[in-house]
Amino acid sequence: MNATSAQRSLADQVIAAIRAVVGAGPVPLHEPSFAGNERLYLQECIDSTFVSSVGKFVDRFEAELAAYTGAKHAVALVNGTAALHIALKLAGVKEGDEVLVPALSFVATANAVTYCGAIPHFVDSESLTLGMNAAKLRAYLNEHTEQRSNQCINRATGRVIRAIVPMHTFGHPVDLEGLLAIAHDFNLALLEDAAESLGSYYRNQHTGTFGLMGTLSFNGNKTITTGGGGAILTNDSALARRAKHLTTTAKLPHAWEYWHDEIGYNYRMPNLNAALGCAQLEQLPAMLDAKRAVFHRYQEAFAPLTGLRVVAEPEHCQSNYWLQTLLLDTAFAEQRDAILKATNDAGFMTRPAWTLMHELTPFKDCPRMDLAGAQSLVQRLINIPSSSRLIA
């Protein structure tokens, strides 16, 4: 069998396996589900005339989000990028600092670092969690950094490495135990980019609640959506107050005066979006059950195929299975693009992982460790249709 025939054969098998789970196309990669009180709460919000960042649904959404995740505080913002930007500022990230972020991530992770005037420092990933490789990172930091005045200094640049931002890729919890130990040993603030992992748990604790702060996203393609939205999670009451102040244009409370005591940001979530979020949170457990059922059906459908596997939650973790993911064996990596083309042509929306951050023009000169793991993964990952509504 020639190479073209082999590619066509595997692509056809992938299409058949997807079709066995989701039926006939076209099927999007991920779409929101509005099956609860969305219209009721939105109408109530409109009737109240409080549609911007002041209103009962913002307070309710924050309280219910904190209760669900187990965080002491949740601060609802306009999107996940804004949440990470503010979390980095509150963690003390300053202009000229470096921040450790995964090379395999959505661009928002690195963008938020640059909003602080800081420099992303790219970290490799491992295949079990698809997230930061803690063992490899520890060895790298031992070789390339030193401690001065309880600060982690990059020997090559002389800059302070201020923080580490692990991201839970496609909802699968990263090796938090290993990364928390690194943060402690190298004097780094740990901020979780949990944008994709609402409903995911590491050793029975919700992601986004392990570090100094965690951030969430409620974009239209996430497990639940507020249209656009994000949040900061923290157990530190002072940080939560500072987050609310900074993201409400740093305006001091007063019945009529406009007095702003520092540079602030107009980042608070509007009440309309929060109303949608309250209705979505009510349905989250059912959505998570449905996404887990989709995973198990894919796992069964793909079991007979050679050359790939469906990515499963790591040991001691519970994933939300935000995006169902195929990982091709190394020997089959060259067939990724043929599979992507064939599945999309057949009406099943699939996509590759993101372009690695250091390959993007704004970040090509940023510091980085050896990224062999991430480079291998990005050539072999394929996201397949993942909506919670796929199974009636």
What local confidence, expressed as pLDDT, does residue 25 receive? Answer: 84
Tell whether the model's pLDDT for residue 121 goes beyond 80. yes
Q: What's the rounded mean pLDDT across residues 20-47?
A: 96
Tell whether the model's pLDDT for residue 2 goes beyond 60. no
Residue 391 banded pLDDT, cuts 50, 70, 90: confident
Residue type, 372: A
Domains in the chain, please, with CATH? 3-32+282-355+381-390 (3.90.1150), 38-281 (3.40.640.10)
What local confidence, expressed as pLDDT, does residue 235 receive? Answer: 98
Could you read off the pLDDT of 308-336 as tens digits, one per residue?
Answer: 999 999 999 999 999 999 999 999 999 99
Q: What's the rounded mean pLDDT across residues 58-81?
A: 98
Residue 216 banded pLDDT, cuts 50, 70, 90: very high
Tell whether the model's pLDDT for residue 4 goes beyond 70. no
Q: What's the rounded mean pLDDT across residues 257-285?
A: 97
Q: What's the rounded mean pLDDT across residues 160-186?
A: 98
How far, in Å, are 224, 243, 372 from residue 355 at the CA level? Answer: 25, 31, 14
Q: What's the rounded mean pLDDT across residues 166-180?
A: 98
Select from 292, 309, 125 the least CA-distant residue to 223. 292
Q: What is the rounded average pLDDT for all residues in the chain?
A: 96
Could you read off the pLDDT of 335-374 as tens digits, one per residue?
Answer: 999 999 999 999 999 999 999 999 999 999 999 999 999 9
Proportion of the chain above pLDDT 90, given as a percent: 96
What local confidence, expressed as pLDDT, does residue 6 receive? Answer: 56
Proportion of the chain above pLDDT 70, given as a percent: 98
Residue type, 67: A
Q: What's the rounded mean pLDDT across residues 104-130?
A: 98
CA distance linking residue 57 with residue 63, whole number of Å: 10
What local confidence, expressed as pLDDT, does residue 22 receive? Answer: 96
CA distance linking residue 269 with residue 283, whole number of Å: 20
Residue 154 banded pLDDT, cuts 50, 70, 90: very high
Please list the alpha-helical segments (H only) found in the chain. 3-22, 38-48, 56-69, 80-90, 107-115, 134-144, 176-185, 237-246, 271-302, 336-345, 372-378
b/e per residue, 175-202, with b = 16+ CB within 10 A?
bbebbbebbeebbbbbbbbbbbbbbbbb
- Whether the Cβ atoms of residue 172 and residue 319 lie closer than 8 Å to each other: yes
Distance from CA of residue 101 to its chain's centroid?
12
Tell whether the model's pLDDT for residue 5 goes beyond 90. no
Select from 138, 98, 143 the least CA-distant residue to 119. 98
Select from 165, 70, 74 the least CA-distant residue to 111. 165
Q: What's the rounded mean pLDDT across residues 235-261?
A: 96
Select from 118, 51, 116 the least CA-distant residue to 272. 51
How far, in Å, are 47, 161, 254 from residue 367 at the CA level? Answer: 52, 11, 46
Contacts of 385 (CB under 8 A, 6+ apart): 18, 22, 27, 28, 29, 30, 324, 348, 349, 350
